[in-house]
């Protein structure tokens, strides 16, 4: 797109800001900043000179003056940008550009913009959080972020709460960190949000750990705050919930999580159970006698068992339930008891989960696998999971050969 047809060109023709660009998009403001400089270097540039800024009357800017000042704030001449800061300070619509100038490469421009921003309140700066955090990745971009954090920590809670539902993930995380530190949310609200924030693991963990950090000021048992964490889809959140069972003296409730589908949660459950004086190994051995009810018990047995338990796991690799077979292979891998000659046939298992578990277990043994048998599994009539596993193992063989490892 030609610059004259873009936002800079539309502003030069006097169009209002809201018609010239998407003022809600932080990236659009950064793009405008770059585009204006390109436009200004043209011989017949409509970008304003410094003397035009002095002609702007005091008070609220007209639509045309607002567009002109926006262009001036992006001008390649630092003197023009600096002159435009004064009228921009009183025009809320131009504050995104004022924020950009806080990271300006020219010292006087940067310092003047920072003086204006330092006096800003949360109601003015909070809506610009997406742009502020985007600029924080740049050199000299940390000042605006620091100001934003200060006004959110010291200002009205409503400014923080308004950002908790932002579409910008970085803004949501930033706002929730402030909200957690300021105790703006109850433990129940924290737990519910942690359980429901399925698209953001970092936020899940932040909120789940905040629940436990405040366990001393609320009755977690009565409010059943931990129930939200323990029922979460995220293993990171469930693991925090299981750890919370120890803090609240509810060690026995960790036993069902010994068979959680997540290795992280199982490890936390074993820790909690041990803290109560119970050895989880006999529990796993018992649970493996009814593997259909507790498929992940096989993986748990491998994670804390001994070589003597390998026989139990080998028997489970032939179980009619695919989930049990897959978890048994994972348990053998954790126990370091994998035998490639017995695991390789599982690459032809009809269940993709079993094939993936077998391929993972065979990776350290790939150099010693029969290359022709692996190639045969690339045939079009083989299951997709089998073909994918064969490709990965063949690639592992090639890598072993390149490194000169034995067995290739």
Q: What's the rounded Cα separation, in Å, for the pair 100 and 98?
A: 5
Local confidence band at 8 (pLDDT 50, 70, 90 cut-offs): confident
φ, ψ dihedrals at 181, nearest 5°: -65, -35
Q: Is 193 exposed, middle or buried (0-12, 13-18, 19+ CB in 10 A)?
A: buried
Tokens for 355, please give them: 């094939």
φ, ψ dihedrals at 349, nearest 5°: -60, 145
Tens-place pLDDT, residues 319-346 = 999 999 999 999 999 999 999 999 999 9
User: Residue 21 gets which letter from DSSP?
Assistant: S
Q: How far is CA 96 from CA 40, 49, 107, 304, 344, in A?
A: 20, 21, 19, 56, 60
pTM over 0.95: no
φ, ψ dihedrals at 298, nearest 5°: -65, -45
Tokens for 314, please give them: 């080998």
Tens-place pLDDT, residues 286-315 = 999 999 999 999 999 999 999 999 999 999
Closest by Cα among 280, 235, 289 to 262: 235
- Go through the chain and tell me how many residues it has: 408
φ, ψ dihedrals at 404, nearest 5°: 75, 30
| C-alpha 82, offset from chain centre | 38
Local confidence band at 408 (pLDDT 50, 70, 90 cut-offs): very low
60 or 15, greater pLDDT: 15
pLDDT at 4 over 70: no
Q: What's the rounded Cα separation, in Å, for the pair 148 and 334?
A: 47
Closest by Cα among 257, 226, 262, 218 to 244: 226
Tens-place pLDDT, residues 36-75 = 888 777 655 666 665 566 656 566 777 888 888 888 899 8
């Amino acid at each position: 797109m030609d610059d004259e047809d873009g936002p800079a060109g539309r502003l030069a023709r006097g169009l209002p800001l809201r018609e010239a660009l998407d003022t809600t998009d932080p990236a659009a403001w950064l793009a405008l900043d770059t585009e204006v400089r390109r436009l200004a270097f043209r011989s017949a540039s409509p970008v304003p000179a410094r003397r035009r800024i002095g002609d702007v009357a005091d008070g609220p800017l007209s639509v045309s003056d607002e567009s002109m000042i926006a262009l001036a704030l992006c001008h390649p001449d630092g003197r023009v940008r600096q002159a435009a800061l004064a009228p921009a300070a009183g025009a809320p619509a131009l504050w995104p550009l004022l924020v950009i100038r806080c990271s300006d490469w020219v010292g006087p421009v940067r310092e003047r913009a920072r003086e204006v921003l330092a006096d800003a309140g949360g109601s003015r700066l909070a809506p610009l959080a997406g742009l502020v955090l985007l600029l924080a990745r740049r050199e000299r971009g940390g000042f605006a972020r620091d100001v934003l954090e200060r006004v959110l920590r010291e200002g009205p809670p409503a400014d923080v709460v308004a950002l908790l539902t932002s579409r910008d993930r970085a803004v949501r995380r930033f706002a929730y960190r402030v909200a957690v530190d300021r105790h703006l949310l109850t433990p129940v609200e924290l737990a519910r949000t942690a359980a429901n924030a399925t698209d953001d693991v970092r936020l899940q963990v932040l909120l789940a750990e905040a629940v436990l950090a405040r366990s001393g000021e609320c009755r977690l048992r009565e409010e059943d705050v931990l129930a939200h964490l323990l029922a979460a889809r995220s293993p990171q959140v469930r693991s925090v919930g299981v750890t919370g069972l120890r803090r609240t003296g509810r060690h026995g409730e960790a036993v069902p999580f010994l068979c959680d589908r997540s290795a992280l949660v199982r490890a936390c459950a074993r820790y909690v159970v041990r803290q109560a004086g119970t050895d989880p190994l006999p529990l796993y051995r018992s649970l493996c006698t009814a593997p259909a009810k507790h498929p992940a018990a096989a993986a748990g047995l491998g994670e804390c068992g001994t070589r003597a338990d390998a026989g139990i796991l080998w028997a489970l690799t032939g179980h009619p339930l695919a989930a049990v077979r897959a978890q048994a292979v994972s348990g053998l891998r954790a126990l370091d008891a994998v035998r490639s000659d017995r695991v390789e046939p599982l690459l032809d298992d009809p269940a993709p989960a079993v094939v993936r578990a077998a391929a993972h277990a065979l990776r350290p043994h790939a150099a010693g696998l029969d290359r022709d048998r692996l190639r045969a599994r690339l045939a079009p009539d083989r299951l997709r999971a089998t073909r994918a596993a064969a490709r990965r193992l063949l690639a592992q063989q090639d890598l072993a050969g390149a490194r000169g490892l034995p067995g290739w």
